[in-house]
């Protein structure tokens, strides 16, 4: 079984728990997720099956949308509600000042990854070191916050906001940094991932719904084709005489192209299809400097 499931992860499950349940339910060996959600977080978690596991990095690279509740005035060691309280301060709940502080974080910003995260340093995950009472220096990372929309002010010390951001953004850290900016500290009280690329919460299914679809032999209703999730990529259909090169990972020059969605551009990633419209994988448009002619080279062949 090859494709992607749009799973609505519920509270209490780790991302690895979801993978294990899907593997067991579908009796599928190759299963992988496309970006960790903390156990307390909910929402969209695309799960790749079979050959689609090779597309996990491409899916993870897409933008994300989150809905978070920020609690001001309370700082925790994990930057979320599950942690130990480190400090409490009074909150001046000035809506204009809060809006101004939030606006400061729109654009390209730097974040220091939290100690309670799955990042590996010297072969050990940060959260493992944190549980041992250790804290080590972490290099800041660049992320992009495309927009933050405050949905609700919740006096005396909370606000709900939707965050549109790049991959790799720590919403916990964003909440803590907004609290620091306001001088009172803060932490993330709750988190829902509303979207990951083209995967949206309103289209997601729970693990219980997945089990029911399996029992009713209706899994096809939930399984999303591999190329569907990369539909923003240009599509290249190769002529029959170029199909053998396509199968064998050879160079596919433009005179082998039967059809494209739009003119190809040097360096762009494209989806390759054989003459029978079978999706073959992800390719990149390259050029031979000597002859200055474009061709399609394989990045990920999914045959």
Instruction: Classify burial at 200, counting beta carbons within 10 Å of its beta carbon; exposed 0-12, middle 13-18, buried 19 or more.
Output: middle
Q: Which helix (H) or strand (E) holds 303?
A: none
Single out the catalytic residue among 2, 17, 38, 40: 38
Q: Are 195 and 202 in contact (CB under 8 A)?
A: no
d(CA 296, CA 280): 12
* Radius of gyration of the chain from its Cα atoms, rounded to whole angstroms: 23
d(CA 245, CA 298): 10
Residue with tokens 């079978």: 278
Beta-bridge partner residues of 300: 282
d(CA 84, CA 91): 19
Catalytic residue status for 38:
yes
d(CA 35, CA 108): 21
Q: Which two tokens stand for residue 303?
A: 């045959």
Q: What is the 3-state secondary structure (H, E, C) of 26-48?
A: HCCCCEEECCCCCCCCEEEEEEE
Q: Which two tokens stand for residue 180?
A: 């620091």
Interacting residues of 289 by C-beta distance below 8 A, sequence separation 6+: none
Active site residues: 38
């Amino acid at each position: 079984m090859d494709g992607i499931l749009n799973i609505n992860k519920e509270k209490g499950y780790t991302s690895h728990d979801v993978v294990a349940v899907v593997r067991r339910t579908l009796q599928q060996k190759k299963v992988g997720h496309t970006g960790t959600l903390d156990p307390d977080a909910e929402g969209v978690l695309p799960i790749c099956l079979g050959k689609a596991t090779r597309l996990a990095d491409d899916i993870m690279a897409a933008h994300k949308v989150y809905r978070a509740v920020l609690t001001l005035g309370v700082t925790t060691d994990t930057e979320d509600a599950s942690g130990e309280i480190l400090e409490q301060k009074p909150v001046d709940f000035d809506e204009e000042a809060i809006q101004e502080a939030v606006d400061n974080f729109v654009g390209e910003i730097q974040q220091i990854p939290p100690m309670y995260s799955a990042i590996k340093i010297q072969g050990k995950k940060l959260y493992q070191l944190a549980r041992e009472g250790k804290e080590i220096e972490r290099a800041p990372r660049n992320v992009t916050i495309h927009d933050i929309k405050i949905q609700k002010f919740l006096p005396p010390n909370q606000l709900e906001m939707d965050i549109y951001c790049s991959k790799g953004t720590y919403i916990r850290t964003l909440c803590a940094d907004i609290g620091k900016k306001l001088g009172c500290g803060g932490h993330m009280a709750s988190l829902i991932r509303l979207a990951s690329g083209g995967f949206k919460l309103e289209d997601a299914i729970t693990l219980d719904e997945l089990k029911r679809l399996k029992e009713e032999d209706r899994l096809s209703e939930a399984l999303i084709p591999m190329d569907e999730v990369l539909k923003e990529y240009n599509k290249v259909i190769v002529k029959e005489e170029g199909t053998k090169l396509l199968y064998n990972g050879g160079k596919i020059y433009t005179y082998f192209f039967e059809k494209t969605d739009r003119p190809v551009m040097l360096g762009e990633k494209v989806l390759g299809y054989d003459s029978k419209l079978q999706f073959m994988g992800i390719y990149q448009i390259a050029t031979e400097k000597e002859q200055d002619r474009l061709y399609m080279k394989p990045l990920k062949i999914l045959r």
